[in-house]
Chain A
Amino acid sequence: MTNEAVPAGNGQAGKVMTLAGVVGELRSGMTIGIGGWGSRRKPMALVRELAASALSDLTIVSYGGPDVGLLVAAGKVRRVVTGFVSLDSIPLEPHFRHARQRGAIELTELDEGMLHWGLLAAAHRLPFLPMRAGLGSDVLRVNPNLRKVRSPYADGEEFVAVPALTLDAAFVHMNQADARGNGQYLGPDPYFDDLYCLAAGRAYMSCERIVPTSELTKAGPLQSLLINRAMVAGVVETPNGAHFTSCAPDYDRDEAFQARYARSAASPQAWEDFRAAFLSDGEAGYQAAVARFSSGAVDPAGAAEARA
């Protein structure tokens, strides 16, 4: 990483942490929000570290992709709060699917917009926000704790009272950040990453690279500075850290590897093979194994599975 001298007299220490340092601050049973969307700009290095940890019983709030699937497969999850779980180019997340069909996880199924509204309510420290979405649908049937609220004004209209989705911790991934916690996305969509940070007691931002603060506005417009340092507790530099999800413009989704990941849901043995091949040796080990996979070197687990 690039070292940057903190300006004299500022007094603000850097927030650079390691993956292990971040996960070391978390506890079993916590509610963790994960930024990005589907299989796009997910903080996968942090997710992998969490998957390899001893933590359990987590509630995950996410526009779900392989973050949810990986944590479910690793047995870390008690409940998922989401509107969908998808790998985008592979519409159904296979690990999430299996877990639901086995009854292995609990689900709070919300409309996509309700998830947004719940994060916004939490960020604003409101108990709920009113919304039309959900009315008439079975979202109200499968979430019996959801309440309605009547407008106190002349219209008297009734809405769903979307409860705040307050998080213990949040993970987001940016293209660039400085050591103090200012973060920048350079792709097409900010998703809801700023709201995840503000909805959380402590937010952790991974990034492709840590750069001097003065470099941020050279890489993109002012509006790309989505995360400011009041929003985050820690910054982790994780090159290729959103892999195999997309992190435009640094890289696109790794479709070949995503397909390899999806095949790991075929059986308990297939998952064990995937875990052993890619997730057993930390983030550096993961990136090295991915490099071997991408170069066409033999993937013993994948080859065995292809024969099966």
Chain B
Amino acid sequence: MTGTEATLAEICVVACAEAWRGDGALVASPMGLIPTLGARLAQLTFEPDLLITDGEATLLAPAGISDDGGQQDDSQPSEGRVTEGWLPFRQVFTMLAAGRRHVMMGASQLDQFGNQNISCIGDWARPKAQLLGVRGAPGNTVNHPVSYWLPRHTRRVLVDQVDMVSGVGYDRAAGLGSRAARFHELRRVVTNLAVLDFGSHDHSMRLRSVHPGVTVSDVAEATGFLLAAPYQVPQTRLPTAAEMALIRDHLDPQSRRDQELA
């Protein structure tokens, strides 16, 4: 990777990283490569207290972190990572229920209020397409912050109504009452076109920024519901030179990130 311009994948990595800004010592659970690179980038830069696993049960910290928690050398982290803890699935479930986690999931379908489907397409009783199953989405969404990563922003994914509510959206959460819904928070949605959130007064999905070269009407065209947008939609922030170097030389030297957008 020699170009100086940030690629779409790199812009998406940074947009995913931004989802965890301000989280502190929470378990970041990214699903997919670009969210994983984003979480690790956040951990290496502006959110050093994040906890991240190797995809199984080992918590890994950047090797550049010194024993007293300070950054030994913030110019360049060393190659390796150091084991800092153990997080088997049973402990993930406990951390989840304790609210000490922020997951970025995928979605086969996502609606205006953030109801997510990863279970199946069509009638649940005999689906047209059986997908993963609800996995941990129901519990995640009522217990701790959740964000979404959608590598293909289309009307097939951003739909008027999802076929099976796996992850709970704002309208469903409101129906539970304020007490039961008090841990529900959908933080942001990062797609290959834009960054969105649920900051509208009614918590419907709102356009927050568009990636370079993407117009607001491109996003509206690719979205299956009416999208709230401010009068002026800013451009998604570009990676800094330091972030680009970390992504290219340290986190993903093989450029596997581009395949997730292919």
Q: Do A and B bind each other?
A: yes
Q: Name A's B-contacting residues (CB within 8 A).
A: 37, 64, 82-86, 91-92, 96-97, 100-103, 109-114, 116, 131-139, 141-142, 155, 157-158, 188-192
5 A-B pairs with CB atoms under 8 Å apart are A97-B129, A100-B127, A101-B130, A137-B138, A142-B124
Which B79-131 residues have a C-beta within 8 angstroms of A?
86, 88-90, 93, 96-97, 119-120, 124-131
Say yes or no: B168 contacts A135, CB within 8 Å.
yes
Say yes or no: A111 contacts B167, CB within 8 Å.
no
Say yes or no: A136 contacts B133, CB within 8 Å.
no
Say yes or no: B88 contacts A138, CB within 8 Å.
no
Say yes or no: A188 contacts B88, CB within 8 Å.
yes
- Contacts A91-B132, A137-B137, A137-B167 aside, 13 further interface pairs with beta carbons under 8 A come to A83-B133, A83-B136, A100-B126, A101-B128, A113-B139, A133-B138, A137-B134, A138-B166, A139-B138, A142-B124, A158-B180, A189-B88, A191-B90
Q: How far is the CB of B86 from chain A (nearest CB, A)?
A: 8
Q: How far is the CB of B69 from chain A (nearest CB, A)?
A: 25
Say yes or no: A132 contacts B134, CB within 8 Å.
no
Say yes or no: A191 contacts B168, CB within 8 Å.
no
A-B residue pairs, 10 tightest by C-beta: A133-B139, A84-B133, A137-B138, A100-B130, A136-B168, A188-B57, A136-B172, A111-B138, A138-B165, A189-B88
Say yes or no: B133 contacts A189, CB within 8 Å.
no
Say yes or no: B126 contacts A135, CB within 8 Å.
no
Say yes or no: B142 contacts A136, CB within 8 Å.
yes
Q: How far is the CB of B165 from chain A (nearest CB, A)?
A: 4
Q: How far is the CB of A40 from chain B (nearest CB, A)?
A: 8
**B58 adjacent to chain A (CB < 8 Å):** yes
Residue in chain B with minimal CB distance to A246: B56
Give the residue of B58, B90, B142 whose beta carbon is less than 8 angstroms from that of A135: B142
Residue in chain A with minimal CB distance to B131: A92
Instruction: Please measure, in the bound complex, the distance between the C-alpha atom of A83 and the C-alpha atom of B167, giving whole angstroms.
Output: 13
Q: How far is the CB of A236 from chain B (nearest CB, A)?
A: 25
Say yes or no: A114 contacts B139, CB within 8 Å.
yes
Residue in chain A with minimal CB distance to B177: A158
Say yes or no: A112 contacts B136, CB within 8 Å.
yes
Instruction: Please measure, in the bound complex, the distance between the C-alpha atom of A111 and the C-alpha atom of B180, giving whole angstroms.
Output: 17
Residue in chain B with minimal CB distance to A102: B126
Say yes or no: A100 contacts B120, CB within 8 Å.
yes
Residue in chain A with minimal CB distance to B165: A138
Instruction: Please measure, in the bound complex, the distance between the C-alpha atom of A190 and the C-alpha atom of B93, giving whole angstroms.
Output: 13
Say yes or no: B134 contacts A190, CB within 8 Å.
no
Say yes or no: B173 contacts A188, CB within 8 Å.
no
**B43 adjacent to chain A (CB < 8 Å):** no
Contact A191-B139, Cβ < 8 Å, known A97-B130, A100-B120, A135-B176: no
Chain B residues with CB under 8 A of A101: 126-130
Instruction: Please measure, in the bound complex, the distance between the C-alpha atom of A206 and the C-alpha atom of B161, giving whole angstroms.
Output: 45
Chain B residues with CB under 8 A of A96: 130
Chain A residues with CB under 8 A of B90: 116, 190-192
Q: How far is the CB of A122 from chain B (nearest CB, A)?
A: 15
**B237 adjacent to chain A (CB < 8 Å):** no
Task: State the majority secondary structure of interface residues on B.
Answer: loop
Q: How far is the CB of B113 from chain A (nearest CB, A)?
A: 11
Say yes or no: A155 contacts B179, CB within 8 Å.
yes
Instruction: Please measure, in the bound complex, the distance between the C-alpha atom of A135 and the C-alpha atom of B138, giving whole angstroms.
Output: 7
Q: How far is the CB of B101 from chain A (nearest CB, A)?
A: 12
Which B148-175 residues have a C-beta within 8 angstroms of A?
164-168, 172-173, 175
Residue in chain B with minimal CB distance to A84: B133
Say yes or no: B93 contacts A113, CB within 8 Å.
yes
**B135 adjacent to chain A (CB < 8 Å):** yes
Instruction: Please measure, in the bound complex, the distance between the C-alpha atom of A239 and the C-alpha atom of B162, giving whole angstroms.
Output: 45
Say yes or no: B180 contacts A137, CB within 8 Å.
no
Give the residue of A37, A111, A155 whose beta carbon is less than 8 angstroms from that of B136: A111
Say yes or no: B135 contacts A137, CB within 8 Å.
no
Q: How far is the CB of B220 from chain A (nearest CB, A)?
A: 28
Among B56, B139, B142, the one with the most A-chain Cβ atoms within 10 Å of its Cβ is B139
Give the residue of B135, B164, B167, B181 whose beta carbon is less than 8 angstroms from that of A84: B135
Say yes or no: B142 contacts A132, CB within 8 Å.
yes
Give the residue of A82, A102, A158 whose beta carbon is less than 8 angstroms from that of B133: A82
Chain A residues with CB under 8 A of B179: 155, 157
Chain B residues with CB under 8 A of A158: 180
Chain B residues with CB under 8 A of A137: 134, 137-138, 141, 165-168, 172
Instruction: Please measure, in the bound complex, the distance between the C-alpha atom of A35 and the C-alpha atom of B223, giving whole angstroms.
Output: 41
Chain B residues with CB under 8 A of A142: 124, 164
Contact A191-B180, Cβ < 8 Å, known A100-B127, A136-B168: no
Contact A103-B126, Cβ < 8 Å, known A83-B136, A111-B137, A112-B136: yes
Residue in chain A with minimal CB distance to B130: A100
Chain B residues with CB under 8 A of A102: 126
Instruction: Please measure, in the bound complex, the distance between the C-alpha atom of A101 and the C-alpha atom of B135, giving whole angstroms.
Output: 19
Instruction: Please measure, in the bound complex, the distance between the C-alpha atom of A37 and the C-alpha atom of B96, giving whole angstroms.
Output: 18
Contact A188-B165, Cβ < 8 Å, known A101-B130, A111-B136: no
Q: How far is the CB of B237 from chain A (nearest CB, A)?
A: 31
Instruction: Please measure, in the bound complex, the distance between the C-alpha atom of A157 and the C-alpha atom of B128, giving whole angstroms.
Output: 37
Chain A residues with CB under 8 A of B131: 92
Instruction: Please measure, in the bound complex, the distance between the C-alpha atom of A64 and the C-alpha atom of B134, giving whole angstroms.
Output: 12
Instruction: Please measure, in the bound complex, the distance between the C-alpha atom of A79 and the C-alpha atom of B215, giving whole angstroms.
Output: 48
